[in-house]
């Protein structure tokens, strides 16, 4: 078996909860409550929140595993895929600043569904989450930026290996089995960036497939299936197919078991593509610092890097919720009006609002050489607001709230969870969930916890 699969498998099979530093345990708990927030938003707001359950049932699926924020249930692999789709569907899931991917939406639903099915305790779930994040992000950052440039979606592709790793950990696979699970997962890793240009509403389901595929790979390995010896680095392997064989294995594995990738995740405070967050935050800051009102604005220029420009720089007003979440002009226009950007700005009446459309026409996005030179280590924006009286204000922003350098606290994340879950859950359940996640390592099993996540409304 190739070095990458073998080494990551040893990490997945050999790491114990006791090996994790205290700050990494706390970070994992923060990631869990944050992804639960994202899933709750998807369960109540995603366009296909019902359709994905219907699709699963139309395929003959049945079972008793929890679908977050819903009263329905499913088999545990289907529940993991649906919960993953919910978590990714509203652009509220966490991400990695150097990987361009969102592992949490895949890893955490996979871990919770497996733990519910297998009666696994909270300590082992935390361990699996840390392992899953590490594996997914090591692949994503090592294959970046060619993975995206070649048209592949890093969250869906690399999330598959992350889901296989967390599954291998929770299924207690040995190192040989875990290596096969990872190798098999490469065969199922898929997802295209074309989904960011059209059909965006289905993107959550695409990423949800990674959870199913990762579980499938681990169970196949447990049941003795053979696997390619070099699924990643072979002459016809994943790296050649998706990133032009431009992966340094030694660099990818550097610091494994010492430098945990979960530390480099960021929290998304706005339900939009992360590339719109620097423009939103910079605009809000300038308006606050200089008492700028929307009606005073003549023009806004947003300087960014090529990836952000291609994904979110389209001029004009969006036509639907998916375009809105990937539109820097619309997000900035809404921030001008509200002083922030929230779920309310994704309502149809606001997307079709003439005032937002008029303001969007004043916002121009371009590739700025300085901002582009910092990418991908820094993902920022340069904001220039020109007023009708001729005055202009500028701000360049890189460090965003929720970034590793500017982390938000656990109580802030609980507030986010409350805001996203109140449509589906009772206040009592919300309070219990926040308390349980903060003490997750003390949970002897997860069935009672998962019941708290079922809809009460």
- DSSP string for 81-131: HHHHHHHHHTS-S-EETTT----HHHHHHHHHHHHHHHT--HHHHHHHHHH
* 41: nearest Cα among 84, 86, 10, 79: 86
In this predicted structure, the answer to whether residue 457 has a pLDDT above a threshold of 80 is: no
Taking residues 83-103, report their average pLDDT: 92
> pLDDT band at residue 346, thresholds of 50, 70 and 90?
confident
User: Where do the domains of the chain lie?
Assistant: 3-267+415-452, 274-397
Residues 227, 177: Cα–Cα separation, whole Å: 10
Please name the fold of domain 3-267+415-452.
2-methylcitrate dehydratase PrpD (1.10.4100)
Res 427: pLDDT:
93
**pTM for the full predicted model:** 0.86
CA distances from 124 to 79, 172, 180, 349 (A): 20, 10, 21, 45
The whole-chain average pLDDT of the chain stands at 94
Is 90 exceeded by the pLDDT of residue 139? yes
Tell me, what's the pLDDT at 400? 86
Q: Indicate the pairing of strand 95-96 with strand 363-367.
A: unpaired
Triad 177, 178, 180: Cα angle to 5° = 65
Q: How far is CA 361 from CA 292, 299, 308, in A?
A: 18, 9, 18
pLDDT of amino acid 98:
82
Mean pLDDT value of segment 188-206:
92
- What are the backbone angles phi and psi of residue 233, rounded to the nearest 5°? -105, 5
Orientation angle between helical segments 410-421 and 22-45, nearest 10 degrees:
20
What is the tens place of the pLDDT at every residue in 209-220?
999 999 999 999
Whether the pLDDT of residue 322 is over 90: the answer is: no
CATH topology of domain 274-397: 60s Ribosomal Protein L30; Chain: A; (3.30.1330)
């Amino acid at each position: 078996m190739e070095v990458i699969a073998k080494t990551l498998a040893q990490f997945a099979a050999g790491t114990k909860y006791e090996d994790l530093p205290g700050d990494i345990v706390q970070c994992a708990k923060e990631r869990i409550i944050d992804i639960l927030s994202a899933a709750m938003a998807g369960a109540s707001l995603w366009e296909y929140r019902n359709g994905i359950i219907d699709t699963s049932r139309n395929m003959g699926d049945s079972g008793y595993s929890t679908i977050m924020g819903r009263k329905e249930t499913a088999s545990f692999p289907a529940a993991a895929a649906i919960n993953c789709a919910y978590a990714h569907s509203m652009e509220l899931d966490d991400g990695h600043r150097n990987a361009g991917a969102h592992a949490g939406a895949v890893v955490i639903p996979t871990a919770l569904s497996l733990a519910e099915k297998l009666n696994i305790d909270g300590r082992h779930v935390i361990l699996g989450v840390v392992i899953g994040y590490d594996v997914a992000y090591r692949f994503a950052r090592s294959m970046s930026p060619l993975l995206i440039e070649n048209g592949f979606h890093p969250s869906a592709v690399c999330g598959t290996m992350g889901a296989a790793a967390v599954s291998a950990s929770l299924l207690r696979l040995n190192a040989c089995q875990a290596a096969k699970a990872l190798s098999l997962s490469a065969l199922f890793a898929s997802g295209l960036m074309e989904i960011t240009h059209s059909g965006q509403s289905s993107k959550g389901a695409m990423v949800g497939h990674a959870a199913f595929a990762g579980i499938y790979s681990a169970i196949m390995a447990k049941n003795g299936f053979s696997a390619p010896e070099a699924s990643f680095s072979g002459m016809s392997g994943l790296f050649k197919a998706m990133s032009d064989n431009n992966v340094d294995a030694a660099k990818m594995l550097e610091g494994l078991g010492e430098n945990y990738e979960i530390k480099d995740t960021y929290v998304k405070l706005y339900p939009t593509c992360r590339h719109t967050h620097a423009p939103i935050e910079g605009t809000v800051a300038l308006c606050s610092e200089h008492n700028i009102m929307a009606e005073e604005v003549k023009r806004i220029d947003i300087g960014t890097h090529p990836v952000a420009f291609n994904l979110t720089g389209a001029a004009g007003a969006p036509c639907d919720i998916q375009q809105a979440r990937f539109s820097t002009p619309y997000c900035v226009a809404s921030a001008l009006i509200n002083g922030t950007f929230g779920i309310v700005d994704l309502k149809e009446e606001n997307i079709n609002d003439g005032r937002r459309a008029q303001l969007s026409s004043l916002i121009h996005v371009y590739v700025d050489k300085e901002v582009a030179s910092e990418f991908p280590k820094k993902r920022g924006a340069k904001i220039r607001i020109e007023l009708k009286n001729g005055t202009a204000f500028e701000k360049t922003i890189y460090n965003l709230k929720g970034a590793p350098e500017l982390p938000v606290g656990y109580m802030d994340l609980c507030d986010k969870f409350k805001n996203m879950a109140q449509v589906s859950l009772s206040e009592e359940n919300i309070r219990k969930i926040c308390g349980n996640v903060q003490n997750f390592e003390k949970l002897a099993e997860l069935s009672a916890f998962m019941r708290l996540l079922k809809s009460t409304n």
